[in-house]
Structure 1
Amino acid sequence: MARLGVTGHIHLTADTVDLIRRELSTRLQRYGGDVVGVSCLAPGADTMFAAAVLAAGGRLEVVLPARRYRDHAVPAEALDVFDELLARAETVQVMSYEDPAADAYRAANEAVLGSIEHLFAVWDGGGGGTGSTAETVKSARDRGIPVDIVWPAGSRREVK
């Protein structure tokens, strides 16, 4: 059973969401459903990955960055998907932080990395700060965890 984690961007264009969903589905087919996906369930890449893992017949484990993550970091339009995926998770680990913040995201990402053997990064290669996709990719590579970059041609981040 392969243990796969995810890190990635939250704000993606609608066209990019479609590209990423298809690409994740294609890449997960290699495992034939024999996979555990580990995700923080952030909107965007994390939830797309979690849904793709479940659709492929895999199992889902969740690491939440903070106790009040849902209340403070999940936008109203993403709550239904978040709640559905959380309910389908086999395990849920909640970091010791009360509220989501950069250090909580870093801790959650490190917990994900500590439990996987391969990381999918929905990432355009850009930099970032504490708890970012860039930092998580660097940390995975420093640990010797293989990283699959998932950024199909034509993908773009939404400008916020």
Structure 2
Amino acid sequence: MARIGVTGHVVLADGTAELVYARLTEELRPYAGPELHGITCLADGADQLFARAVLANGGSYEAVIPARDYRQRAVRVHNLPDFDELLRRATSVSYMPFPRAGREAYLAASLEMLRRCEQLFAVWDGNPSADIGDTADVVRLAHARDLPVTVLWPAGARRR
């Protein structure tokens, strides 16, 4: 079974989500089928696009949610329907032992995702992290664990 994790930017500029989704779908194609299994924290942006690309390739995914109050505290109102749908479609959902979402919880969820995967897809523009648990930080941690990392940032992609 191919166990692929994801990290990536949450806030993408107009038109970038379509570019990223197409690239993720293409990169996952060699793993297509029931043996494809993703691990995601289901954040808006890259994580949710990854979950949809895994499903489009006939795979499944599990969700690692940073904290019990993540939905109420961190998911934006416009994203609630997508988050709820993708949460329902996950084969399993686990919550990190934090009562409140925040940087420490996000980092812990990313570390758990890295522990569960064999490879990491990083939807990353290559810029350094602004805070702990951001994309560059997770990529650095994956490299420290000798996990293979595939960086995906399609031509024309931009952050908002």
TM bucket normalised to smaller:
over 0.9
Alignment of 1:82-97 (within 5 A): 82-97=83-98
**CA-CA distance at 1:88 after TM superposition:** 0.7
Q: Which runs of 5+ in 1 are unaligned?
A: none
Partner of 2:108: 107
Alignment of 1:8-157 (within 5 A): 8-33=8-33, 34-128=35-129, 129-157=131-159
Q: 1:14 is paired with a residue of what secondary structure?
A: coil
Q: 2:96 is paired with a residue of what secondary structure?
A: strand
Write the distance in 1 (CA, Å) between the matches of 2:126 and 2:100: 28
Q: 1:57 is paired with a residue of what secondary structure?
A: coil
CA RMSD of aligned residues (A): 0.7
**CA-CA distance at 1:127 after TM superposition:** 1.1
Write the distance in 2 (CA, Å) between the matches of 1:73 and 1:127: 22
Q: Which runs of 5+ in 2 are unaligned?
A: none
Structure 2 length normalisation: TM-score? Answer: 0.97
Q: How many residues matched?
A: 158
Q: 1:149 is paired with a residue of what secondary structure?
A: strand
Q: 1:38 is paired with a residue of what secondary structure?
A: strand
**CA-CA distance at 1:105 after TM superposition:** 0.5
Deviations 1:48-104 (A, max 9, x none): 001111121101100000000000111111111110110011111100111111110
Q: Equivalent pairs: percent with the same residue?
A: 48
Write the distance in 1 (CA, Å) between the matches of 2:32 and 2:110: 26
Q: 1:120 is paired with a residue of what secondary structure?
A: strand
Structure 1 length normalisation: TM-score? Answer: 0.97
Write the distance in 1 (CA, Å) between the matches of 2:78 and 2:50: 18
Q: 1:98 is paired with a residue of what secondary structure?
A: coil
